[in-house]
Every structure is written in structure tokens, then in C-alpha cells.
Structure 1
């Protein structure tokens, strides 16, 4: 027998129960906006070009640090304008360091009523490398910062770099989290077993996501925008006579906030927004609320 995570069993797509999202929709769409801060001269970080983090040169890696910070200084504000123009809600996946680094940006999302989910302290570290006590402290510190600023604790979590230890789901449930975005193994929410009760895994994309698409696969702006539209249209076709789905779109302002990419993204998001009568455009937290209230047996893993 192969080792297993033990969080949930296998649930074939065919034969699952039929149910709807609010308004009778079969497709829920949410935007995951990643607001991230990075240490200068040390730690992890995505790279525009090979630099110090990949052994290409000594720290400080000014080129890549400045490129990442462009997202918080400029790109995120351009993305906010587009979200306002199209009346689109967002789930903000926030490093807690953002409250000190860019408080005005966090306040702008708060003013829109966007959901804020936990995303660690900073994307310069991975929680998967920490002993359990230190990982528990990371989750607690990040959660407390969000609760102080937003008035309520976050209910959802995305690990920096989507890096989990074997104990991460247990620690999240212990800390009061209700859902995780770390698992991309399904197109529906799935209940995960933990030491502290069930934790819902809500689909978070690793395909319709600008980091793997643009940084890893080197897709162009138009290709990424087309990917959003094609994914959306194919899902609409599938749910006509099929089971309900969740479509996430993962965005990082230092990538998608570049002007030529924003122009292509705006076209794709306008295409989605134009079909809002046929789909439920929402937040990850609202996906949790609806799915958790369904009768037992509707959500896999329960």
C-alpha cells in the first residue's frame, strides 16, 4: 500500500449528488487576489529573471525584490480599478506583513467589503519547514493580525507557496479555520478530516493561476486571458447537465498588474462578468457558507 494523507477518500466525479449554488447556478466563480510582501536580501521569492535566490548572484537581489514590490505599489491598484469597474468581489489572500507594508492597499480592499483570508506572515518563508510549535505560532500571528485589522478572524487559509507540513490541516482547524485553499485535487469542495474536526478544502487553481501560467510555463498575457475564458466556457458547458463546480482565478498583482497583462485580464474578466446571470460570482468564504449548509452527503469527504 502506498502512503496516504488520510484526509479524505477517493470520490469519482461521475455519480455525485446534484445540487445548486444560490440562484440556481451550477458554477461558482471567485477571484483569489494574492497580496504578498517579501524580505529584502533574504528568503524566498518568485523571480522575473534568475538571481540570488537561484544561485545566480549574491544578495541583495534588487531586480527581483523591486519587481515583486511593484505589485503592491502599482499593480494592485490597477487591479482594484478593474474589479470596481466590473463590480467583482474578491477573496484577498493576504500576508499579514501587508498591514505594515501597505496599509492603504489593505484598507482599499476593506472598503470594498472583500473577504480577507490568511496567507501566512510573508511569502519569504514556508511553513512546511517549521517544527509544529513554530508553525502553530506562524498561523496564530498571521490570524491575530488580520483579526485586529478586519474586526473578525479569517476563516480561510492559503499557505505561502502552498506548502503544508503533515500537521497543517490539523493546526488550521485547531486555530478556528473553516476552509483551506491548499488542495487543488477537485472541482468541488471536499471535507478533510483533521484532529480537530472537519476542514473544507475549496478548489484553488494551479492552472488558471498567473504564477504557474506566466512565470513557470511562460504563457503570454493574451494566452492567460484566453485560458480564463476557455476554462469558464467549458465549465459552463459541463454544468448544464452535470454536478456543481467551483472555478477559481488566482492573481498576483506584481505579475498580472503589468499594464499589458492588465489589458488582457480586463477583457477576460469582462467576459465572465457579462454572464453573471448564469453563474454565481462570489468569494471563497461564501462558497464555504453555502456548501457547509448543504445536507450531509452532498459534499465529498463528509
Structure 2
């Protein structure tokens, strides 16, 4: 028998029927970089460049490709973010705090926003019993809080995975938004007290884009097209633009200048708010949720 469960997590709300959303300073588009900073297990199949060796242990081809991100790629990406005055919203595996403390320090020096992104991206966040998931999430959040000095506010599961219980468990732990439901250009409340959905993108995202053969110049044009359409849409009500980045993808040498060109374009726009997902959630909660 087919599953017939109704979606009770959030309600349908067409964007054309909402009160106008206004960003600080009269900005039309709120922009943030979702920087995926991840840890991968050496003996477990994970995100792969070449599936032919993905089931091997060890798998130097794919593990090395992923490992390039934390060893080299992220430092290039940081250069571009710094150059254009952009604070990252970091989707952080808690194991990163254990294995790559230099990255945590770099983020603390730059006042990055830290979001919980599971423990490791080699393990999807799925099929957990309620109490097991509560313990797992508690460990993830506590580990990030200890490493960064601040409890994360946002969540995105590895590969955007979660259970039906995840939002409520996150709320118990003090988190107040998720990026996992990529179905809107504005934040909106979930049917879980205190929890919001904040837009993220699996389309404007280096991993699937370059995985499909997108070139560097095409990436820059895609970023421009995304911004220009969202700005046009925002004539009456503000929009959110997110770019998902993975240092083992965008941090490759031959792609770096195209990220820099894309960020240079965005940073020069007069109607953009360069911000973080934390600040987007705060502004929406303060001006929409608490004002009604």
C-alpha cells in the first residue's frame, strides 16, 4: 500500500498572498553564502567525483578529492569572502571541530555564523528512533557550541536529510531555523513552535552545477541571472538569495576566479543585503512573526 501521509510540517502559502517583506536599509535581496565545511570518513562511501571506486576502502581518488577542500580549497574560498566583505554561514559537521581546528579558528576570527550540519557527511541523518536522534543531535550541537563558543541557531542535515522528528528536537535544543526545505524565496514558519524555514538552494550550488558540467563563465552568468530575477521579483516584497559552496568543488584552482567574479558582482549591487542566514532569520522573526 502506498504511503498517504499528509505534510503537517508546514502549510501551503503562495508567495503572492503574503504581506510585504522589507529588508534593512531598503535592500531588495538578502544574500548569504552557505559554506559547507564537512568531514568525511576514510572507509565509508560518500560524495564522489568518480563512482567507479566509491565502494572501495580506502578510496584515494574520491577521499582525496573531498579532503582537498579542508586542506587547500577552503583557504582560497576564504580569500574571496574576505575580499568582498562577506561573512560565511557555515554548515558545520561537528567532527570538523575535532579534526580541523584551524578552520574553526579562521571562522571565529571572521565572526562566521555557525549552523549544525550533522556529525559527518559520510552518514545521512535518517531512520533514527526518537531518543537516539535526541542524543545524537544533542552531541552535535554541544560539540559545535564548545568549539565556537556559541550554540548554533540553524540546521541543515547532511545532504539535507532529517527525520519527521528533527525540527521539534532542534527546537528543544534551542535552534530556531532550518535550511533543509528548499522550497521558497522567503523565510516562513514551520508548524513547530519557534522554528522557521530559511531559503537555501540545491540549484544555485556548486556541487550539482559543476557536477553537471557547468563551466566557470556559465557559473558567473547563473549567479547574475539568479540575482537579477530575484531583484525583479522583489518589487513588492524582499527575496532571499543563497549560494551553496563546497571547498572541494569551488576551491579548485581553475574555478577560483569565477567565484571571485560572482562575489564581486553581488557585492557591487546597490539593492543587496550581504548577510548571514542567522541575521535573515532574526530579521524575519522580528519584523514578521513578532509584529503580527
TM-score (ref. length: structure 1): 0.92
Q: Select 1:280's aligned residue among 255, 266, 273.
A: 273
SS at match of 2:11: coil
Q: Select 2:282's aligned residue among 289, 293, 296.
A: 289
Contact 1:186 1:203 in 2 (8 A): yes
* Residue in 2 that maps onto 1:207: 203
Deviation at 1:2, TM superposition (A): 5.0
The 1:132–1:221 alpha-carbon spacing in structure 2 relative to 1, beyond 3 Å, is farther
Deviations 1:170-221 (CA, angstroms, capped at 9, x unpaired)? 1111211110000111111010012xx2310000101101112122x23222
* Residue in 1 that maps onto 2:8: 6
Q: Provide the aligned C-alpha RMSD in A.
A: 1.7
Q: Distance in 1 between matches of 2:239 and 2:223?
A: 15
* Residue in 1 that maps onto 2:48: 47
List aligned pairs for 1:78-157, cutoff 5 A: 78-157=76-155
List aligned pairs for 1:212-231, cutoff 5 A: 212-215=208-211, 217-231=212-226
* Residue in 2 that maps onto 1:198: 194
Equivalences, count: 290
Contact 2:36 2:244 in 1 (8 A): yes
* Residue in 2 that maps onto 1:24: 26
Where has structure 1 moved over 3 Å in runs of 4 or more? 295-298
* Residue in 2 that maps onto 1:183: 181
Q: Distance in 2 between matches of 1:37 and 1:93?
A: 11
* Residue in 2 that maps onto 1:167: 165
Q: Distance in 1 between matches of 2:221 and 2:195?
A: 33
Q: Distance in 2 between matches of 1:29 and 1:88?
A: 9
Query: Is 1:262 aligned to residue 231 of structure 2?
Result: no
Q: Distance in 1 between matches of 2:217 and 2:135?
A: 41
Contact 2:11 2:191 in 1 (8 A): no
Q: Select 1:249's aligned residue among 243, 254, 259.
A: 243
Structure 1 unmatched ranges of 5 or more: none
SS at match of 2:287: coil
SS at match of 1:76: helix
Contact 1:35 1:93 in 2 (8 A): yes
Q: Distance in 2 between matches of 1:123 and 1:14?
A: 36
Deviation at 1:72, TM superposition (A): 0.2
SS at match of 1:293: helix
Deviation at 1:91, TM superposition (A): 0.4
Deviation at 1:297, TM superposition (A): 8.7
* Residue in 2 that maps onto 1:236: 231
Q: Distance in 2 between matches of 1:99 and 1:232?
A: 33
Deviations 1:57-97 (CA, angstroms, capped at 9, x unpaired)? x3211110011010000000000011111111110111111
